[in-house]
Structure 1
Amino acid sequence: MLLKKELKFNYKPFLIWTIVLLFFSGMIAPFVDVIMEDAASLQDFIKSMPKFMLKLFNINENFITPEGFFSAKVMIMAEIFAAIFAVTLAANIFVGEFESKTIEYILTKPYSRNKIFMKKAYTLFIYYTLFALIFCISVLWLFSIYVHYDYNSSILAGFALYLYVIEILFGALTILFSVIFQNSFTTISTTMGIFLIMFVADMLGNVDEKYEWIRNLTLFKYIPLGNTVKYSKVYIGNSILFIMLGVIITIIAGKIFEKEDILI
């Protein structure tokens, strides 16, 4: 009952963000072959770019592949889309109940706090999983239709895995801040602030060797798009560790929810 209610009330933002991401991917995929046909010119262009720009976006000659081009043109924006989707959906499901005061009504029902929390968490898990799966399947499908050059499908699937990691981790942080602050502005701004700090810190660490150490504090060092393309390696182990971290954060948030007073 609770799970069906949560799924029903939150499918619209899921559909909107999924369509936006798929539309963006669909706009790029048909041009991959066009770019690859002029790979020599693209290689010369990359060599002519300032080293600062190449380091900033972690671009190298390995990007002259279908999956490399897709990474450079789509995945940076896709990671931002995934973070915004994960944070706003989690905030709507959790902190939205506090602000609308509907949480007080729900708590009068014959459900334990733990059950209420878990149903909400399951809803997020379902939508996050669907978001990543749909992205993965649709990208592989688009490439099978439009791309006639050799490409590594496991790398494309790895990109979807990275989006899933972002969803789980930042969704979990949003849940934690939701039950602590019980305020959407504070919750969303704090979580997105952490995301942006990590995002910018990763770029800064790429650009200047003096600040390379700061990348150790960011998620993006451990699921790097650039190295994934460069070495044709999906960082599955790192992804699993961060997914587990997200689960642990969610469990901690659940314990706080069971004991936290509702702010009136």
Structure 2
Amino acid sequence: MTAILRNESGKLIRSSLLLTGLFGLISVFLFAAFPGFADQAEVVEEAFPPVLAGLFGFEELHTIEGFVGGYLFPLLWILFGGMYFAYVAAGLIVGDVRTRKMDLTLSNPVSRESVVLQKVAALWVPLVVLNAGLILFVLAGVTVLGESIDPIALGMTHLLSVPYLLVCAGIGLVLSVVLDREETAQATALGLVFVLWLIDGLSHLDPALEWIRDLTPSRYFDPTAILVHEEYALADAGILLVTFLALVAVATVIFVRRDI
């Protein structure tokens, strides 16, 4: 039975396209600022306080790879993208429970495990739409600027970002089966992803806080390392995938045992 998957996938198309369009608009402004960054890269890097440097991972801003990896991806992908997936996932279960639609769904021959898995599987829509859209925006921006970027490195950046986005979705999914109100679950998911991103960046300021980075999903996805140094942290991506599967398992167990 894939009716839930088809229905949920259809509901995510509009928001995915809207966010892709927003990413495109922001990308235009960011790429328009690149020539200024390239000319004054040293001044810009020195002007940014250590807090921002840690949050964004600035490195070699005078190159298009450093600019995309240290400025565009941290803002659009790690922060906004992560918050979007957490927000969407946080409404997958609790929304239907709150409106009693879940009662109708479960009156059909479908298990609760299948409901959770099909709803999570529907996230393929924003994963495909957003990744394809941002790749096109980056390639277009680079071409207009007369620059070049390694397509393999760019593709690997997007590929290795998928586990990170899925972990953010997993966080939202757990909140969706734990909390009783959709608005509360979504607001908490947004705040939690933002706080984890903030902790990851601030931990750079004090070596004593480095250990806490291991608890933040953004620590395992470094677009600058991929684009500038072509370092593909496959082990880190594996850790994120395992974490995502664990979060889905936890959410499924909670939902199966929950009285709705």
TM-score, scaled relative to structure 2: 0.84
Q: Is the 8 A contact 2:127 2:162 kept in 1?
A: yes
State the Cα deviation string for residues 166-195 of structure 1 (Å, max 9, x = none): 320011121122112232233223333332
> Could you tell me whether the CA contact under 8 Å between 2:64 and 2:149 is conserved in 1?
yes
* Within-5 A mapping of 1:196-207: 196-207=194-205
Say if 1:74 and 1:182 are closer, same or farther in 2 by CA, change over 3 A: same
Q: What is the rounded CA distance, in whole Å, between the counterparts of 2:32 and 2:237 in structure 1?
A: 29
Specify whether residues 245 and 184 from structure 1 end up closer, same or farther in structure 2 by C-alpha distance, changes over 3 A only: same
The Cα offsets for residues 196-255 of structure 1, whole Å up to 9 and x where unpaired, read as 222111221222334333323222222124444553323233123202320221123223
Q: Comparing 165-174 with 150-159, which one deviates more in the overlay? A: 150-159
TM-superposed deviation, 1:30 = 5.5
Gaps of 5+ in 2: none
How many Å apart are 1:25 and its aligned residue? 2.2
Q: Distance in 2 between matches of 1:214 and 1:116?
A: 34
CA displacement, residues 117-167 of structure 1 (integer Å, 9 cap, x when unaligned)? 22212212x124314431453145315632433433333224323542332
CA spacing shift, 1:50–1:68, aligned 2, 3 Å? closer
- Write the letter of the residue equivalent to 1:191: A
1:129 match: 127
Larger Cα-atom Rg: 1
Per the alignment, residue 117 of structure 2 pairs with 118
Superposition map of 1:90-101 within 5 A: 90-101=89-100
Kindly indicate whether the alpha-carbon contact (under 8 Å) linking 2:90 and 2:174 is maintained by their aligned counterparts in 1: no
Matches within 5 A, 1:1-264: 1-29=3-31, 32=34, 34-35=35-36, 39=38, 41-46=39-44, 48-49=46-47, 52=50, 54-55=53-54, 57-60=56-59, 62-78=60-76, 79-124=78-123, 126-139=124-137, 141-143=139-141, 145-262=143-260
Farther off after superposition, 93-102 or 206-215: 206-215
Displacement of 1:54 after TM fit?
4.0
Q: Is the 8 A contact 2:12 2:125 kept in 1?
A: no
* Aligned Cα root-mean-square deviation (Å): 2.7
User: CA 1:58–1:90 in 2, change beyond 3 Å: closer, same or farther?
Assistant: closer
Seen in structure 2, the aligned counterparts of structure 1 residues 48 and 86 have a Cα distance that, compared at 3 Å, is: closer
Distance 1:56 1:191, change over 3 A: closer
Instruction: Kindly state the Cα deviation for residue 65 of structure 1 after the two structures are TM-superposed.
Output: 1.1
CA–CA separation in structure 1 for the residues paired with 2:167 and 2:211: 22
Aligned-partner residue type, residue 80 of structure 1:
L
Is the Cα–Cα contact under 8 Å of residues 23 and 134 in structure 2 kept in the other structure?
Answer: no
What number of residue pairs does the alignment pair up?
Answer: 256
The farther-off stretch of 178-187 and 146-155 is 146-155
Encode CA deviations 1:23-59: one digit per residue, 9 max, x unaligned: 2224434554x358xx4x4244146436635455432
Report if the CA contact (8 A) 2:88-2:186 is conserved. Answer: no
For 2:136, give the aligned amino acid.
S
Q: Which amino acid aligns with 1:13?
A: S
Whole-angstrom CA distance in 1 between matches of 2:167 and 2:215: 14
Q: Is the 8 A contact 1:168 1:243 kept in 2?
A: yes
Q: Supply the distance in 2 between the matched residues of 1:93 and 1:248 (Cα, whole angstroms).
A: 17
Paired with 2:42 and 2:100, the residues of 1 have a C-alpha distance of 60
In structure 1, the gaps of 5 or more residues are: none
Amino acid at match of 1:102: K
* Shift in Å, 1:86: 0.5
The change in CA–CA distance for 1:211 and 1:245 in structure 2 (over 3 A counts) is: closer
